[in-house]
Amino acid sequence: MSIVNMSGDHEVDGLRHRRTRSVTAAEDIQKVERNVRKAQPDNPCHRPRDSLFSWTSGFDNFTGLVNWAFLLLFMGGFRLLLENFIKYGIRVDPTQWFIVLTGKNEGGSEHPSVVLTLYSLVPVILCLLTEKGLSIEIIPHGPGMAIHIINLIVLVLIPMVAIHIKGASFSLMGATTVCFVYSVLFLKLWSYIQVNMWCRTKTKQAQSKSGLRRQSLSYSNLKTKAEKKAATSRDDIDLQDVRIVHYPDNLNLRDILYYIFAPTLCYELNFPRTSRIRKRFLIKRIIEVVVGVQLIMTMFQQYMIPSVKNSLIPFSNMDVTKATERLLKLAIPNHLMWLLFFYLTFHSFMNLMGEIMHFADRNFYCDWWNANNIDTFWRTWNMPVHRWAVRHLYIPIVEMGWGKMTASILVFFISAFFHEYLVSVPLKTFKIWAFMGMMGQIPLSFISRYMEVHYGPRWGNLVVWASIIMGQPLCIMMYYHDYVITHYGKALLDDYSHV
Protein backbone atom coordinates (compact mmCIF):
# COMPACT_ATOMS: atom_id res chain seq x y z
CA MET A 1 0.00 0.00 0.00
CA SER A 2 2.82 2.38 0.88
CA ILE A 3 4.54 1.53 -2.44
CA VAL A 4 1.39 2.54 -4.31
CA ASN A 5 1.18 5.81 -2.35
CA MET A 6 4.83 6.53 -3.05
CA SER A 7 4.40 5.89 -6.75
CA GLY A 8 1.30 8.09 -6.76
CA ASP A 9 3.20 10.91 -5.04
CA HIS A 10 5.97 10.62 -7.64
CA GLU A 11 3.39 10.86 -10.42
CA VAL A 12 1.79 13.99 -8.87
CA ASP A 13 5.20 15.62 -8.41
CA GLY A 14 6.10 14.77 -11.97
CA LEU A 15 2.84 16.25 -13.26
CA ARG A 16 3.42 19.48 -11.33
CA HIS A 17 6.98 19.64 -12.66
CA ARG A 18 5.77 19.19 -16.25
CA ARG A 19 3.12 21.89 -15.80
CA THR A 20 5.70 24.29 -14.37
CA ARG A 21 8.01 23.58 -17.28
CA SER A 22 5.17 24.02 -19.77
CA VAL A 23 4.17 27.41 -18.30
CA THR A 24 7.81 28.53 -18.30
CA ALA A 25 8.25 27.34 -21.87
CA ALA A 26 5.08 29.24 -22.95
CA GLU A 27 6.37 32.43 -21.34
CA ASP A 28 9.74 31.95 -23.07
CA ILE A 29 8.00 31.43 -26.41
CA GLN A 30 5.93 34.63 -25.94
CA LYS A 31 9.05 36.54 -24.96
CA VAL A 32 10.97 35.30 -28.00
CA GLU A 33 8.00 36.07 -30.27
CA ARG A 34 7.72 39.57 -28.82
CA ASN A 35 11.39 40.24 -29.39
CA VAL A 36 11.15 38.94 -32.97
CA ARG A 37 8.12 41.16 -33.70
CA LYS A 38 9.86 44.23 -32.31
CA ALA A 39 12.79 43.59 -34.63
CA GLN A 40 10.50 43.80 -37.71
CA PRO A 41 10.63 47.00 -39.81
CA ASP A 42 6.79 47.56 -39.67
CA ASN A 43 6.94 49.13 -36.17
CA PRO A 44 4.32 46.83 -34.54
CA CYS A 45 1.96 48.50 -32.04
CA HIS A 46 -0.16 45.53 -30.94
CA ARG A 47 0.39 43.08 -28.13
CA PRO A 48 -1.85 40.59 -26.28
CA ARG A 49 -4.18 42.67 -24.06
CA ASP A 50 -7.66 42.36 -22.53
CA SER A 51 -10.38 45.02 -22.67
CA LEU A 52 -10.60 47.12 -19.52
CA PHE A 53 -14.13 45.91 -18.68
CA SER A 54 -12.98 42.27 -18.80
CA TRP A 55 -12.38 40.63 -15.42
CA THR A 56 -9.02 39.28 -16.63
CA SER A 57 -7.70 42.77 -17.38
CA GLY A 58 -7.01 43.52 -13.70
CA PHE A 59 -8.16 47.14 -14.19
CA ASP A 60 -9.94 48.62 -11.17
CA ASN A 61 -9.69 52.42 -11.43
CA PHE A 62 -13.26 53.59 -12.12
CA THR A 63 -13.02 56.95 -10.32
CA GLY A 64 -14.33 58.84 -13.33
CA LEU A 65 -17.42 56.64 -13.56
CA VAL A 66 -18.08 57.15 -9.85
CA ASN A 67 -17.86 60.92 -10.35
CA TRP A 68 -20.23 60.61 -13.32
CA ALA A 69 -22.71 58.63 -11.19
CA PHE A 70 -22.64 61.21 -8.41
CA LEU A 71 -23.10 64.05 -10.92
CA LEU A 72 -26.04 62.25 -12.52
CA LEU A 73 -27.54 61.60 -9.08
CA PHE A 74 -27.10 65.27 -8.18
CA MET A 75 -28.79 66.40 -11.41
CA GLY A 76 -31.72 64.03 -10.81
CA GLY A 77 -32.09 65.24 -7.22
CA PHE A 78 -31.88 68.87 -8.29
CA ARG A 79 -34.62 68.27 -10.86
CA LEU A 80 -36.85 66.86 -8.10
CA LEU A 81 -36.14 69.96 -6.00
CA LEU A 82 -37.20 72.23 -8.87
CA GLU A 83 -40.31 70.14 -9.51
CA ASN A 84 -41.29 70.34 -5.84
CA PHE A 85 -40.71 74.12 -5.76
CA ILE A 86 -42.69 74.73 -8.98
CA LYS A 87 -45.60 72.55 -7.84
CA TYR A 88 -45.90 73.51 -4.15
CA GLY A 89 -43.84 76.67 -3.68
CA ILE A 90 -42.07 77.29 -0.38
CA ARG A 91 -43.90 75.31 2.30
CA VAL A 92 -41.34 75.82 5.07
CA ASP A 93 -42.86 77.69 8.02
CA PRO A 94 -40.65 77.99 11.13
CA THR A 95 -43.62 79.12 13.23
CA GLN A 96 -45.19 75.68 12.68
CA TRP A 97 -41.94 74.08 13.85
CA PHE A 98 -42.16 76.03 17.09
CA ILE A 99 -45.81 75.10 17.57
CA VAL A 100 -45.16 71.39 16.98
CA LEU A 101 -41.91 71.11 18.96
CA THR A 102 -43.19 73.05 21.98
CA GLY A 103 -46.63 71.46 22.03
CA LYS A 104 -48.48 74.75 21.62
CA ASN A 105 -51.18 72.88 19.71
CA GLU A 106 -52.03 70.71 22.70
CA GLY A 107 -55.59 71.27 23.78
CA GLY A 108 -56.34 73.31 26.91
CA SER A 109 -53.80 74.37 29.50
CA GLU A 110 -53.13 70.95 31.06
CA HIS A 111 -50.05 70.05 28.92
CA PRO A 112 -50.39 66.32 29.61
CA SER A 113 -47.21 65.40 27.74
CA VAL A 114 -45.15 67.64 30.04
CA VAL A 115 -46.92 66.21 33.11
CA LEU A 116 -46.29 62.61 32.02
CA THR A 117 -42.64 63.35 31.22
CA LEU A 118 -42.13 64.73 34.73
CA TYR A 119 -44.11 61.86 36.25
CA SER A 120 -41.63 59.40 34.70
CA LEU A 121 -39.35 60.03 37.70
CA VAL A 122 -41.87 58.28 39.99
CA PRO A 123 -41.25 54.74 38.59
CA VAL A 124 -37.51 55.43 38.80
CA ILE A 125 -37.69 56.33 42.50
CA LEU A 126 -39.98 53.38 43.21
CA CYS A 127 -37.47 51.06 41.55
CA LEU A 128 -34.64 52.52 43.65
CA LEU A 129 -36.59 52.15 46.92
CA THR A 130 -37.46 48.56 46.07
CA GLU A 131 -33.81 47.73 45.37
CA LYS A 132 -32.85 49.37 48.65
CA GLY A 133 -35.32 47.16 50.49
CA LEU A 134 -34.04 44.07 48.72
CA SER A 135 -30.40 44.90 49.53
CA ILE A 136 -30.99 45.16 53.30
CA GLU A 137 -33.48 42.24 53.18
CA ILE A 138 -36.45 44.26 54.37
CA ILE A 139 -38.27 43.10 51.23
CA PRO A 140 -38.04 39.39 50.36
CA HIS A 141 -36.90 38.42 46.86
CA GLY A 142 -40.30 37.19 45.61
CA PRO A 143 -42.40 40.24 46.60
CA GLY A 144 -39.59 42.54 45.46
CA MET A 145 -39.54 41.03 41.97
CA ALA A 146 -43.36 41.27 41.88
CA ILE A 147 -43.14 44.99 42.68
CA HIS A 148 -40.60 45.46 39.88
CA ILE A 149 -42.74 43.58 37.34
CA ILE A 150 -45.86 45.57 38.23
CA ASN A 151 -43.85 48.80 38.06
CA LEU A 152 -42.55 47.98 34.57
CA ILE A 153 -45.98 46.92 33.27
CA VAL A 154 -47.60 50.09 34.61
CA LEU A 155 -44.75 52.09 33.09
CA VAL A 156 -45.69 50.83 29.62
CA LEU A 157 -49.45 51.15 30.16
CA ILE A 158 -49.46 54.75 31.46
CA PRO A 159 -48.94 56.43 28.02
CA MET A 160 -51.45 54.09 26.36
CA VAL A 161 -54.19 54.84 28.90
CA ALA A 162 -53.45 58.57 29.16
CA ILE A 163 -53.37 59.13 25.38
CA HIS A 164 -56.53 57.05 24.95
CA ILE A 165 -58.44 59.01 27.61
CA LYS A 166 -57.09 62.49 26.85
CA GLY A 167 -56.32 62.00 23.18
CA ALA A 168 -57.51 65.45 22.14
CA SER A 169 -55.17 67.10 24.66
CA PHE A 170 -52.03 65.49 23.19
CA SER A 171 -50.17 66.77 20.18
CA LEU A 172 -48.56 64.19 17.92
CA MET A 173 -45.08 65.35 18.94
CA GLY A 174 -46.01 65.35 22.63
CA ALA A 175 -47.51 61.86 22.49
CA THR A 176 -44.50 60.53 20.56
CA THR A 177 -42.08 62.06 23.06
CA VAL A 178 -43.95 60.55 26.02
CA CYS A 179 -44.00 57.08 24.43
CA PHE A 180 -40.30 57.31 23.57
CA VAL A 181 -39.32 58.43 27.10
CA TYR A 182 -41.33 55.65 28.75
CA SER A 183 -39.97 53.01 26.35
CA VAL A 184 -36.38 54.03 27.12
CA LEU A 185 -37.16 54.02 30.85
CA PHE A 186 -38.60 50.51 30.57
CA LEU A 187 -35.36 49.20 29.02
CA LYS A 188 -33.16 51.11 31.46
CA LEU A 189 -35.04 49.95 34.57
CA TRP A 190 -35.07 46.36 33.28
CA SER A 191 -31.27 46.51 33.07
CA TYR A 192 -31.01 48.24 36.48
CA ILE A 193 -33.13 45.56 38.16
CA GLN A 194 -31.34 42.65 36.51
CA VAL A 195 -27.81 43.91 37.19
CA ASN A 196 -28.59 44.57 40.87
CA MET A 197 -30.12 41.09 41.09
CA TRP A 198 -26.87 39.63 39.69
CA CYS A 199 -24.83 41.60 42.24
CA ARG A 200 -27.13 40.61 45.08
CA THR A 201 -26.94 36.93 44.15
CA LYS A 202 -23.13 36.95 43.91
CA THR A 203 -22.84 38.81 47.21
CA LYS A 204 -24.99 36.22 48.98
CA GLN A 205 -23.01 33.38 47.39
CA ALA A 206 -19.74 34.94 48.56
CA GLN A 207 -21.11 35.39 52.08
CA SER A 208 -22.35 31.82 52.24
CA LYS A 209 -18.97 30.49 51.12
CA SER A 210 -17.04 32.52 53.68
CA GLY A 211 -19.54 31.66 56.40
CA LEU A 212 -19.98 35.30 57.33
CA ARG A 213 -23.31 36.96 57.83
CA ARG A 214 -24.07 40.55 56.88
CA GLN A 215 -23.70 42.74 59.96
CA SER A 216 -26.75 44.70 61.04
CA LEU A 217 -26.82 48.45 60.70
CA SER A 218 -26.02 49.81 64.17
CA TYR A 219 -24.17 52.69 65.84
CA SER A 220 -21.16 50.47 66.62
CA ASN A 221 -20.87 49.36 63.00
CA LEU A 222 -21.08 52.95 61.78
CA LYS A 223 -18.41 53.95 64.28
CA THR A 224 -16.14 51.13 63.12
CA LYS A 225 -16.51 52.18 59.49
CA ALA A 226 -15.75 55.78 60.36
CA GLU A 227 -12.60 54.75 62.24
CA LYS A 228 -11.44 52.68 59.26
CA LYS A 229 -11.92 55.62 56.91
CA ALA A 230 -10.07 57.95 59.25
CA ALA A 231 -7.18 55.49 59.49
CA THR A 232 -6.54 55.54 55.76
CA SER A 233 -3.05 56.81 55.15
CA ARG A 234 -2.07 59.54 52.70
CA ASP A 235 -0.18 57.00 50.64
CA ASP A 236 -3.51 55.55 49.54
CA ILE A 237 -4.89 58.82 48.15
CA ASP A 238 -3.94 57.94 44.57
CA LEU A 239 -5.70 54.60 44.97
CA GLN A 240 -8.82 56.30 46.32
CA ASP A 241 -8.98 58.55 43.23
CA VAL A 242 -10.03 55.46 41.28
CA ARG A 243 -13.34 55.11 43.06
CA ILE A 244 -14.70 51.61 42.50
CA VAL A 245 -18.33 51.34 43.61
CA HIS A 246 -19.41 48.03 45.13
CA TYR A 247 -22.89 46.69 45.70
CA PRO A 248 -24.98 47.93 47.55
CA ASP A 249 -23.20 51.30 47.71
CA ASN A 250 -24.51 52.05 44.22
CA LEU A 251 -28.13 52.19 45.42
CA ASN A 252 -28.52 55.95 45.72
CA LEU A 253 -30.39 58.67 43.86
CA ARG A 254 -27.30 60.22 42.30
CA ASP A 255 -26.20 56.93 40.76
CA ILE A 256 -29.55 56.04 39.23
CA LEU A 257 -30.12 59.58 37.88
CA TYR A 258 -26.70 59.50 36.22
CA TYR A 259 -27.68 56.20 34.60
CA ILE A 260 -31.06 57.56 33.46
CA PHE A 261 -29.43 60.49 31.61
CA ALA A 262 -26.37 58.59 30.34
CA PRO A 263 -26.51 57.56 26.66
CA THR A 264 -26.76 53.83 27.37
CA LEU A 265 -29.43 51.23 28.11
CA CYS A 266 -27.14 48.85 30.04
CA TYR A 267 -26.51 49.55 33.71
CA GLU A 268 -23.12 49.11 35.38
CA LEU A 269 -21.88 49.91 38.84
CA ASN A 270 -18.80 51.63 37.41
CA PHE A 271 -19.20 53.30 34.03
CA PRO A 272 -16.07 54.36 32.11
CA ARG A 273 -15.69 58.13 32.63
CA THR A 274 -13.80 60.91 30.86
CA SER A 275 -11.68 63.29 32.90
CA ARG A 276 -12.96 66.52 31.38
CA ILE A 277 -15.48 68.09 28.99
CA ARG A 278 -14.04 69.05 25.60
CA LYS A 279 -15.63 72.45 24.95
CA ARG A 280 -14.89 72.58 21.23
CA PHE A 281 -16.25 69.07 20.71
CA LEU A 282 -19.34 69.96 22.76
CA ILE A 283 -20.02 73.12 20.73
CA LYS A 284 -19.74 71.19 17.46
CA ARG A 285 -22.29 68.62 18.64
CA ILE A 286 -24.69 71.36 19.82
CA ILE A 287 -24.48 73.08 16.43
CA GLU A 288 -25.08 69.77 14.67
CA VAL A 289 -28.17 69.09 16.78
CA VAL A 290 -29.64 72.56 16.21
CA VAL A 291 -28.94 72.60 12.46
CA GLY A 292 -29.95 68.95 12.05
CA VAL A 293 -33.37 69.53 13.64
CA GLN A 294 -33.98 72.45 11.25
CA LEU A 295 -33.02 70.32 8.23
CA ILE A 296 -35.29 67.46 9.31
CA MET A 297 -38.23 69.79 9.84
CA THR A 298 -37.57 71.46 6.47
CA MET A 299 -37.47 68.16 4.60
CA PHE A 300 -40.55 66.91 6.40
CA GLN A 301 -42.56 70.05 5.69
CA GLN A 302 -41.38 70.67 2.13
CA TYR A 303 -41.10 67.14 0.72
CA MET A 304 -42.55 64.46 3.00
CA ILE A 305 -46.01 65.93 3.65
CA PRO A 306 -46.89 66.53 -0.06
CA SER A 307 -45.70 63.07 -1.06
CA VAL A 308 -47.59 61.34 1.75
CA LYS A 309 -50.83 63.22 1.09
CA ASN A 310 -50.67 62.62 -2.67
CA SER A 311 -50.25 58.89 -2.08
CA LEU A 312 -53.50 58.56 -0.14
CA ILE A 313 -56.00 58.14 -3.01
CA PRO A 314 -53.90 55.76 -5.17
CA PHE A 315 -53.16 53.64 -2.09
CA SER A 316 -56.80 53.64 -1.00
CA ASN A 317 -57.99 52.65 -4.50
CA MET A 318 -55.28 49.98 -4.71
CA ASP A 319 -54.02 51.49 -7.95
CA VAL A 320 -50.77 49.52 -8.06
CA THR A 321 -49.08 51.60 -10.77
CA LYS A 322 -49.77 55.01 -9.23
CA ALA A 323 -49.19 53.75 -5.69
CA THR A 324 -45.80 52.36 -6.74
CA GLU A 325 -44.89 55.70 -8.35
CA ARG A 326 -45.84 57.53 -5.15
CA LEU A 327 -43.91 54.99 -3.09
CA LEU A 328 -40.76 55.59 -5.13
CA LYS A 329 -41.25 59.35 -4.96
CA LEU A 330 -41.67 59.22 -1.18
CA ALA A 331 -38.71 56.86 -0.74
CA ILE A 332 -36.05 59.44 -1.65
CA PRO A 333 -36.91 62.25 0.83
CA ASN A 334 -37.83 59.71 3.51
CA HIS A 335 -34.51 57.91 3.15
CA LEU A 336 -32.51 61.14 3.22
CA MET A 337 -34.41 62.22 6.33
CA TRP A 338 -33.80 58.82 7.94
CA LEU A 339 -30.04 59.08 7.28
CA LEU A 340 -30.01 62.59 8.72
CA PHE A 341 -32.00 61.39 11.74
CA PHE A 342 -29.52 58.56 12.27
CA TYR A 343 -26.54 60.95 12.27
CA LEU A 344 -28.35 63.47 14.43
CA THR A 345 -29.39 60.88 17.03
CA PHE A 346 -26.57 58.35 17.20
CA HIS A 347 -23.65 60.69 16.58
CA SER A 348 -24.54 64.27 17.42
CA PHE A 349 -27.03 63.95 20.29
CA MET A 350 -25.57 60.86 21.98
CA ASN A 351 -22.04 62.28 21.81
CA LEU A 352 -23.44 65.51 23.21
CA MET A 353 -24.99 63.68 26.18
CA GLY A 354 -21.88 61.52 26.57
CA GLU A 355 -19.66 64.59 26.75
CA ILE A 356 -21.90 66.32 29.31
CA MET A 357 -22.17 63.16 31.45
CA HIS A 358 -18.42 62.30 31.12
CA PHE A 359 -19.53 58.98 29.58
CA ALA A 360 -16.50 57.44 27.86
CA ASP A 361 -18.05 54.58 25.82
CA ARG A 362 -19.05 56.30 22.57
CA ASN A 363 -19.61 53.14 20.51
CA PHE A 364 -23.17 54.07 19.56
CA TYR A 365 -23.05 52.54 16.05
CA CYS A 366 -20.83 50.43 13.81
CA ASP A 367 -20.44 50.26 10.04
CA TRP A 368 -24.00 49.09 9.36
CA TRP A 369 -23.81 50.52 5.82
CA ASN A 370 -21.43 47.66 4.94
CA ALA A 371 -23.78 44.98 6.31
CA ASN A 372 -24.03 42.03 3.91
CA ASN A 373 -27.16 40.61 5.57
CA ILE A 374 -30.04 41.75 7.76
CA ASP A 375 -28.61 40.13 10.90
CA THR A 376 -25.41 42.14 10.61
CA PHE A 377 -27.40 45.33 10.05
CA TRP A 378 -29.43 44.92 13.23
CA ARG A 379 -26.26 44.09 15.18
CA THR A 380 -24.43 47.23 14.05
CA TRP A 381 -26.77 50.16 13.44
CA ASN A 382 -28.09 50.70 17.00
CA MET A 383 -25.46 49.52 19.46
CA PRO A 384 -27.18 50.60 22.73
CA VAL A 385 -30.28 48.52 21.89
CA HIS A 386 -28.17 45.65 20.51
CA ARG A 387 -26.07 45.46 23.69
CA TRP A 388 -29.22 45.54 25.83
CA ALA A 389 -30.88 42.80 23.79
CA VAL A 390 -27.82 40.53 23.92
CA ARG A 391 -27.04 41.14 27.59
CA HIS A 392 -30.55 41.09 29.07
CA LEU A 393 -32.56 38.92 26.67
CA TYR A 394 -30.53 36.71 24.35
CA ILE A 395 -27.86 35.40 26.75
CA PRO A 396 -30.24 34.82 29.73
CA ILE A 397 -32.68 32.92 27.48
CA VAL A 398 -29.89 30.73 26.06
CA GLU A 399 -28.55 30.11 29.59
CA MET A 400 -32.04 28.96 30.61
CA GLY A 401 -31.71 26.14 28.09
CA TRP A 402 -33.59 27.56 25.13
CA GLY A 403 -32.15 27.45 21.63
CA LYS A 404 -30.46 30.35 19.89
CA MET A 405 -33.22 30.58 17.29
CA THR A 406 -35.86 30.87 20.02
CA ALA A 407 -33.83 33.59 21.73
CA SER A 408 -33.44 35.50 18.44
CA ILE A 409 -37.18 35.29 17.70
CA LEU A 410 -38.01 36.59 21.19
CA VAL A 411 -35.58 39.49 20.74
CA PHE A 412 -37.26 40.41 17.44
CA PHE A 413 -40.68 40.04 19.12
CA ILE A 414 -39.79 42.54 21.87
CA SER A 415 -38.31 44.90 19.27
CA ALA A 416 -41.43 44.57 17.10
CA PHE A 417 -43.66 45.35 20.09
CA PHE A 418 -41.84 48.59 20.88
CA HIS A 419 -41.75 49.63 17.21
CA GLU A 420 -45.52 49.22 17.07
CA TYR A 421 -45.88 50.90 20.48
CA LEU A 422 -43.99 54.00 19.31
CA VAL A 423 -46.19 54.34 16.21
CA SER A 424 -49.70 53.13 17.08
CA VAL A 425 -50.04 54.76 20.51
CA PRO A 426 -49.22 58.36 19.43
CA LEU A 427 -51.37 57.99 16.30
CA LYS A 428 -54.18 56.33 18.30
CA THR A 429 -54.42 53.93 15.38
CA PHE A 430 -53.83 50.41 16.63
CA LYS A 431 -52.60 48.45 13.64
CA ILE A 432 -49.82 45.89 13.33
CA TRP A 433 -47.87 47.14 10.32
CA ALA A 434 -44.72 48.09 12.25
CA PHE A 435 -44.95 44.86 14.24
CA MET A 436 -45.28 42.77 11.08
CA GLY A 437 -42.47 44.75 9.45
CA MET A 438 -40.11 43.87 12.30
CA MET A 439 -41.15 40.22 12.44
CA GLY A 440 -40.71 40.13 8.67
CA GLN A 441 -37.02 40.79 9.25
CA ILE A 442 -36.64 37.12 10.24
CA PRO A 443 -37.47 35.65 6.79
CA LEU A 444 -35.73 38.61 5.16
CA SER A 445 -32.56 37.69 7.04
CA PHE A 446 -32.63 34.24 5.40
CA ILE A 447 -33.09 35.86 1.98
CA SER A 448 -30.18 38.24 2.52
CA ARG A 449 -27.95 35.40 3.72
CA TYR A 450 -28.92 33.32 0.69
CA MET A 451 -28.00 36.22 -1.61
CA GLU A 452 -24.72 36.75 0.26
CA VAL A 453 -23.70 33.09 0.09
CA HIS A 454 -24.78 32.31 -3.49
CA TYR A 455 -24.29 35.65 -5.26
CA GLY A 456 -21.68 37.42 -3.15
CA PRO A 457 -21.59 39.99 -0.33
CA ARG A 458 -22.52 42.86 -2.67
CA TRP A 459 -25.93 41.35 -3.41
CA GLY A 460 -26.56 40.79 0.30
CA ASN A 461 -25.75 44.45 0.93
CA LEU A 462 -28.16 45.47 -1.85
CA VAL A 463 -30.94 43.51 -0.15
CA VAL A 464 -30.22 45.36 3.10
CA TRP A 465 -30.32 48.78 1.42
CA ALA A 466 -33.47 47.90 -0.56
CA SER A 467 -35.31 46.88 2.63
CA ILE A 468 -34.33 50.16 4.31
CA ILE A 469 -35.20 52.41 1.37
CA MET A 470 -38.52 50.78 0.40
CA GLY A 471 -39.82 49.40 3.70
CA GLN A 472 -40.15 52.65 5.62
CA PRO A 473 -42.16 54.69 3.06
CA LEU A 474 -44.51 51.72 2.60
CA CYS A 475 -45.23 51.73 6.36
CA ILE A 476 -45.74 55.51 6.30
CA MET A 477 -48.29 55.24 3.47
CA MET A 478 -50.19 52.45 5.26
CA TYR A 479 -50.31 54.27 8.59
CA TYR A 480 -51.39 57.59 7.05
CA HIS A 481 -54.15 55.81 5.13
CA ASP A 482 -55.39 54.01 8.27
CA TYR A 483 -55.04 57.17 10.38
CA VAL A 484 -57.29 59.19 8.06
CA ILE A 485 -59.89 56.43 7.81
CA THR A 486 -59.87 55.76 11.58
CA HIS A 487 -60.20 59.38 12.69
CA TYR A 488 -61.98 61.09 9.77
CA GLY A 489 -63.69 58.36 7.76
CA LYS A 490 -63.61 57.37 4.11
CA ALA A 491 -65.84 60.30 3.18
CA LEU A 492 -63.01 62.73 3.95
CA LEU A 493 -60.29 60.93 2.01
CA ASP A 494 -60.31 63.61 -0.70
CA ASP A 495 -59.84 66.39 1.88
CA TYR A 496 -56.66 64.73 3.25
CA SER A 497 -55.18 63.72 -0.09
CA HIS A 498 -54.27 67.17 -1.40
CA VAL A 499 -51.74 69.73 -0.22
Catalytic residues: 419
Within 92-217, residue ranges assigned H as helices are: 94-102, 112-119, 121-135, 141-165, 172-210
Residue 473: is the preceding peptide bond cis (ω within 30°)? no
Inter-helix orientation angle 172-210/112-119, to 10°:
10
C-alpha span between 347 and 341 (Å, rounded): 10
Q: Which residues touch 372 (CB under 8 Å, ≥6 apart)?
A: 448, 452, 457, 458, 460, 461, 464
C-alpha span between 335 and 337 (Å, rounded): 5
Q: Which residues touch 326 (CB under 8 Å, ≥6 apart)?
A: 307, 310, 311, 314, 315, 477
Dihedral angle over CA of 12, 13, 19, 23, nearest 10 = 150
Asked if residue 479 lies in contact with residue 312, where contact means CB atoms within 8 angstroms, the answer is: no
3 state DSSP class of 273: strand
C-alpha span between 192 and 186 (Å, rounded): 10
